[in-house]
Chains A and B, each alone.
Chain A
Amino acid sequence: MALQTLNFEFQAETPETMTKEWSHLGVTGSGDLEVLMEKKNLGGKVQAKVVTPVKGFDEVWRRMLGKFVNDCQVGDVSIEINDDNATPIVVYMRLRQAWAEASEKEAE
């Protein structure tokens, strides 16, 4: 199946960046996805790159990623997603999980 690559950019109102340098979560299995998050100086913005086999859902991706960035006030992060037919809520849940992991404070 031909894959397509989508690129998005978001800006939250009061963004905070992640504590770790990078975070990785999930696998590109059927109905699921892999999320990579990397701390990057983007002037507070978020860049997202999505590789997906599903066509015609650009607007859904834009809205779902936008919802995540706004709900969690994410900034200065580069997100890379390798998708295999995940539904929007699965995408959202994985993003939230990856964000929780990326924002964990190091054990003292």
Chain B
Amino acid sequence: MEFKSTRREWNTLQKDTLARKSAADQYVKEGKIVDAKDTVALLETVIKPYDKVNIEGNNQKQADFLAKKLCEVDPSKVHDLHMVQSVLTLPEHLDVFEKGIAKKLDMSFSGPQAGRIAQFLKEGKLELGAIHTYLELYGRYFVDLTPKVALVAATMADRDGNLFTGFSTEDTPVIVEATKFRQGIVVAQVNQIVDKLPRVDIPGDWVDYVIESPKPFYIEPLFTRDPALITDAQILKAMMAIKGIYGEYGVERLNHGIGFDTAAIELLLPTYGEELGLKGKICKHFILNPHPTLIPAIESGWVESVHSFGGELGMEAYVAARSDVFFVGPDGSMRSNRAFSQTAGHYAIDMFIGGTLQIDPYGNSSTATASRVAGFGGAPNMGCDAKGRRHSTAAWLKVGDEYALKDQLYGPVRRGKRLVVQIAETFREKLAPGFVEELDAFALAKNAKLPIEPVMLYGDDLTHIITEEGIAYLHKCGSMEERTAAIRGIAGFTEVGMKADPKETKRLRTAGIIKTPEDLGIAIGRANRSMLAAKNVHELVEWSHGLYNPPAKFRNW
């Protein structure tokens, strides 16, 4: 047998990068520093048409200066870029498509820009690859979506290009590693260039250019919820969650989705949780951004550890002063690495609990609406049963043992199951129903020509739904028919709930598949704001001994 080896050059990527860099040498002042005024010229030199380009768009931190400058390049020089980035938040993230600089997009999440993505898709201004989860997109950075050029954001740099990303590290390490180790080019905007960094988060030889941006990078206080806005209905659901799920399963390791429902749970731990004798039995380890509403639970000794995906404005000093709880570096400030936090959230927690916009009678849930391509960020990584998990905990085993389909699916092997919980009021504000016969995701898939419906959590992963009507223990259902009946039974007066058969709902209550507040021994009259450990932002500051420094818009006292 004859083997034929390919005759080719094996370092074309590196040669290409070196050629681009030597053309850009003229813009480098000292070390790796480029003047902010030369940014557009630099980008026009190091970026070529059809490149895969990452603008560091995180959940919170934004490379906003570089995003703005990329919009100013000449589209006759730089065009048809393939943007690969986790979050699209800024108008500039979409402007590059409007101007013909970029053509294709692979992403995870796009809060405020979701409407424009759908519109551009329709107008043919944008081709959408896929909507990923964070971990999935990071994975593809190392397979087929490796950036040629990455435009990242850091807090500080030194002259050698070492970066300090500090409290708000987020996606920077994973983007830079993927880009640089496949011979790509890394451009960093920093708030400040200093002689000596507090610590090195990204080594300088992985960074090609450093630009001091005229203004510090934009960051959104995404996870701050003012306790003053928590409603009695949210408190009722939080009481049900703590008693009927956290306590029932002994959930020690978990993630809380963003929202007022989970904020209410956090603020009930030191009051209602304490009353139920659950301290030390639940909520010991969180994978969670530094939620200000978690402060009272931390201060009263509930929480052993918290690892964070990102930072949260105003929580810097509090986190630094609680290094037994948060992951804090030798310099005294937290590092938040989203890739690791998402990995922990996928494999190492026993429960995900969060809100959604719509749940269908099969238990599929989605935040997609017919005219917005928003994506789900990290929720699906945590809101699913991690099939690669091989370590056991009491909560995980209990759900696995209760799983009604285990004999059909597993045979004699004992397996656990992640608690995946959706907490939703049957009607949201403006009386939008939380339960629908068909998710808007179907209309969106049709409108945006997506091959699969953008479902956030799949029904077969969902184990529990909490509404004000009751908790449905879906993993105890032996068939789709029974699961649908359980969902209808707690869907209140929505179109889904109106179809409930009262006799069947009663049977499910007897079987322990549905538990109402009454079944759980919770008096509705007790569900009011006097249950909250902190009733406003000012009381959170007091709990923190003055260490929490809320952003101006939350300072209303």
User: Given the complex of chains A and B, what is the CA–CA distance between A55 and B370 in angstroms?
Assistant: 22
Check if A90 sits within 8 Å of B231, measured CB to CB: yes
Check if B525 sits within 8 Å of A88, measured CB to CB: no
User: Given the complex of chains A and B, what is the CA–CA distance between A84 and B427 in angstroms?
Assistant: 14
Q: Which of A12-20, A40-48, A57-65, A74-82 contacts B (4 or more CB under 8 A)?
A: A57-65
Known A88-B426, A88-B493; contact A93-B431, beta-carbon cutoff 8 A? no
Closest B residue to A32 by beta carbon equals B231
Check if B524 sits within 8 Å of A96, measured CB to CB: yes
User: Given the complex of chains A and B, what is the CA–CA distance between A89 and B525 in angstroms?
Assistant: 12
For chain B, residues 230 to 244, give those with C-beta under 8 angstroms from any C-beta of chain A.
231-233, 236
Chain B residues with CB under 8 A of A85 = 429-431
Known A96-B524, A96-B525, A100-B525; contact A89-B426, beta-carbon cutoff 8 A? yes
Known A93-B524, A93-B527; contact A87-B429, beta-carbon cutoff 8 A? yes
For chain A, residues 86 to 108, give those with C-beta under 8 angstroms from any C-beta of chain B.
87-90, 92-93, 96-97, 100
Check if A89 sits within 8 Å of B425, measured CB to CB: yes
Q: What is the CB-to-nearest-CB distance from B490 to chain A, in angstroms, rounded to a whole number?
A: 12
For chain B, residues 465 to 492, give those with C-beta under 8 angstroms from any C-beta of chain A.
468-469, 492
Chain B residues with CB under 8 A of A92 = 524
Check if A63 sits within 8 Å of B231, measured CB to CB: no
User: Given the complex of chains A and B, what is the CA–CA distance between A87 and B469 in angstroms?
Assistant: 13
Most buried by B among A54, A87, A93: A87
B389-431 to A contact mask, C-beta < 8 Å, 1/0: 0000000000000000000000000000000000001111111
Check if A87 sits within 8 Å of B232, measured CB to CB: no
For chain B, residues 492 to 535, give those with C-beta under 8 angstroms from any C-beta of chain A.
492-493, 524-525, 527
Chain B residues with CB under 8 A of A60 = 493
Q: What is the CB-to-nearest-CB distance from A16 to chain B, in angstroms, rounded to a whole number?
A: 18
Closest A residue to B235 by beta carbon equals A93
Known A57-B431, A89-B468, A90-B233; contact A97-B426, beta-carbon cutoff 8 A? no
User: Given the complex of chains A and B, what is the CA–CA distance between A100 and B236 in angstroms?
Assistant: 17
Known A93-B232, A93-B524, A100-B525; contact A87-B493, beta-carbon cutoff 8 A? no
Known A85-B429, A85-B430, A97-B525; contact A90-B493, beta-carbon cutoff 8 A? no
Please report the number of residue pairs spanning A and B whose Cβ atoms sit closer than 8 angstroms.
42
Check if B233 sits within 8 Å of A54, measured CB to CB: no
User: Given the complex of chains A and B, what is the CA–CA distance between A58 and B469 in angstroms?
Assistant: 20
User: Given the complex of chains A and B, what is the CA–CA distance between A97 and B530 in angstroms?
Assistant: 14
Q: What is the CB-to-nearest-CB distance from A57 to chain B, in angstroms, rounded to a whole number?
A: 6
Closest B residue to A93 by beta carbon equals B232
Closest A residue to B427 by beta carbon equals A87
User: Given the complex of chains A and B, what is the CA–CA distance between A39 and B469 in angstroms?
Assistant: 29
Closest A residue to B432 by beta carbon equals A87
Chain A residues with CB under 8 A of B428 = 87
Check if A88 sits within 8 Å of B236, measured CB to CB: no
Q: What is the CB-to-nearest-CB distance from B227 to chain A, in angstroms, rounded to a whole number?
A: 16
Closest A residue to B467 by beta carbon equals A89
Check if A89 sits within 8 Å of B431, measured CB to CB: no
User: Given the complex of chains A and B, what is the CA–CA distance between A80 and B426 in angstroms?
Assistant: 24
B220-232 to A contact mask, C-beta < 8 Å, 1/0: 0000000000011
Partner of A93, one of B236, B429, B492: B236
User: Given the complex of chains A and B, what is the CA–CA distance between A90 and B492 in angstroms?
Assistant: 13
Chain B residues with CB under 8 A of A100 = 525
Chain A residues with CB under 8 A of B232 = 90, 93
Chain B residues with CB under 8 A of A96 = 524-525
Q: What is the CB-to-nearest-CB distance from B498 to chain A, in angstroms, rounded to a whole number?
A: 8
Chain A residues with CB under 8 A of B429 = 31, 85, 87
Partner of A87, one of B431, B525, B527: B431
Chain B residues with CB under 8 A of A54 = 431
User: Given the complex of chains A and B, what is the CA–CA distance between A90 and B468 in angstroms?
Assistant: 10
Chain A residues with CB under 8 A of B231 = 31, 90
A residues whose Cβ falls under 8 Å from a Cβ of B: 31, 54, 57, 59-60, 63-64, 85, 87-90, 92-93, 96-97, 100
Further contacts, 13 of them, CB under 8 A, given A31-B429, A63-B493, A93-B524:
A60-B493, A87-B425, A87-B427, A87-B428, A87-B429, A88-B493, A89-B233, A89-B236, A89-B425, A89-B468, A89-B492, A96-B525, A97-B525
B residues whose Cβ falls under 8 Å from a Cβ of A: 231-233, 236, 425-431, 468-469, 492-493, 524-525, 527
A-B contact pairs, 19 of them (CB 8 A): A31-B231, A54-B431, A57-B431, A59-B493, A60-B493, A64-B493, A85-B429, A85-B430, A85-B431, A87-B425, A87-B426, A88-B492, A89-B233, A89-B236, A89-B425, A89-B492, A90-B232, A96-B524, A100-B525
